[in-house]
Structure 1
Amino acid sequence: MPASDESHEDDPRARAARTKRDRTRRALLDAADSAFGSRGWARTRMEDIAQSAGVSAATAYNHFPTKHALLGHVYQPLVRPLIVQAHNDIAAGRSMLDAIDDQVRALCRVTDRNHELTAALWSAVQEYTIRVGGAADPDDQDDPRTLVPIPEALLLLIAHGQETGELRPYPSALEMSTLVVNLLLLRSVNRPGETPQTTAELLLTVIFGSLRPDLILITDSDERPFRRAQ
């Protein structure tokens, strides 16, 4: 590192400015988490979040240029551990059947514990999708679909399972992971009283019914047909 950069890093004024920026960003994220979680997407304004965080609206927009981006950064930490776990499961050579089972159940617990925030995210995603008129652009850092890649962990696991032959190759990992996550988010909004266990059984039946139909029990009753072999 050049000497000028080192001196800048050691400058107390630079450190103080950086600390202030970090605190402001944290205050905005905390205020947004509370606001979106209590008032939802439509009734939450950037100006209200800024006021709760004790900063001006201009400062809030300087940190997060859109409400979509702010919500994406609020929700992002809930998804990141699931993606890390998917990479770890693949690296460890774990059965993708077990890994997908655990991943779906964990994702259902996350959306259940954060129901109002998840409903706000779903609304933000729908609004942004209509605005841009197409799929997510990886370079668009205002797009909540880019900031919160909920399907990514499932996409990784399903793709690996298809590569190893554990899962059928069709539908593709991209199609299946997107379909399942869209169904999860939709049910989170429309069926707020549904338990995460019930939601997980439905999603796993969809996944394995398409990619491993031998795991689905054929029954004449209305009980859930998905049962993983022990």
Structure 2
Amino acid sequence: MPDSPPASARERAARTKRERSRRALLEAAAELFAAQGWLPTRLEDVARRAGVSTATTYNHFPTKHALIAHVYAPLVAPPIERARALRAQGRDAVAVLEEHVRDLAVATREHEALTVPFVFAVQDHSARTGRAPDPADDADPRIIAPLAQLLGELIVQGQEDGTLRPFPPGRDFATQVLNLLLLRVMNRRGEPAELTAEIVLTVLFGALRPEVLVDAGRDGRPFAR
């Protein structure tokens, strides 16, 4: 009888199999969510497309909300990484904030077919829980793809250094600003990212730095590009 492989080899094989299953699930989910949207896509369908069991799917992703968030998170990671890099270089928080909103508009528009089901997942999860994002909730799409977190940090930094008005509270207002951006992507399909960004920035700075709009005059559009 042949000897059993050493434990380390078995562990590596199991880890490789698990990683392969996870990649297959994410790829299958991206295809189905983009093609079908949020409601028609079921975890069972994703499992079938990925060639794994439904039980395996649940072992990786506890809910459909978590699955779409894990699909979506890498797509919006570059704008977050770029904004953090700009902050690390000492760039002005307000300037980084404006660029970050523009970058988010580009990323969410570029991946519009997956942004829409992600928005549905966020709204559905929020309605079910009735609470703010909870870091302990591993199925909360707002935690898995934390789009509002850095936005809030930038607003708070601008409020603390006096370049932005102190009200509304930065972290709370960041959620409202992000919701505006995401809902516009969902409700205005095909709108240019530049226009989405301009509208969001006009609302954001209209509340937190209204002099920018006042100085631009009645017909001015200071955030147009």
Distance 1:119 1:155 in 2: 22
> Does the CA contact (< 8 Å) of 1:71 and 1:121 recur in 2?
yes
Identity fraction in percent: 48
Distance 1:174 1:124 in 2: 21
After TM superposition, the structure 1 stretch with the greater mean CA deviation from structure 2, 86-95 or 40-49, is 86-95
Matched residue count: 217
After TM superposition, the structure 1 stretch with the greater mean CA deviation from structure 2, 162-171 or 137-146, is 162-171
> Does the CA contact (< 8 Å) of 2:75 and 2:111 recur in 1?
no
Matched, 1:200 2:197: yes
Distance 1:46 1:227 in 2: 42
> Does the CA contact (< 8 Å) of 1:215 and 1:227 recur in 2?
no
Matched, 1:147 2:155: no
Distance 1:128 1:227 in 2: 33
The structural deviation recorded for 1:227 is 4.0
Q: Can you give the 5+ residue segments of structure 2 that lack an aligned partner in the other structure?
A: 1-5
Cα pair distance change 1:227/1:148, threshold 3 Å: closer
Aligned to 1:226: 222
Aligned to 1:15: 12
Q: Can you give the 5+ residue segments of structure 1 that lack an aligned partner in the other structure?
A: 1-6
Distance 2:130 2:99 in 1: 34
Aligned to 1:72: 69
> Does the CA contact (< 8 Å) of 1:86 and 1:154 recur in 2?
no
Q: Which residue among 85, 94, 118 is the counterpart of 2:91? A: 94
Amino acid at match of 1:193: G
TM-score, length of structure 2 as denominator length:
0.91
Distance 1:94 1:86 in 2: 9
Aligned to 2:3: none
Other structure's SS at 1:43 match: coil
Equivalence map 1:1-230=2 (5 Å)? 11-216=8-213, 217-219=216-218, 221=219, 225-227=221-223
Q: Deviations over 1:117-145 (max 9, x none)?
A: 11101111111111112222110011111
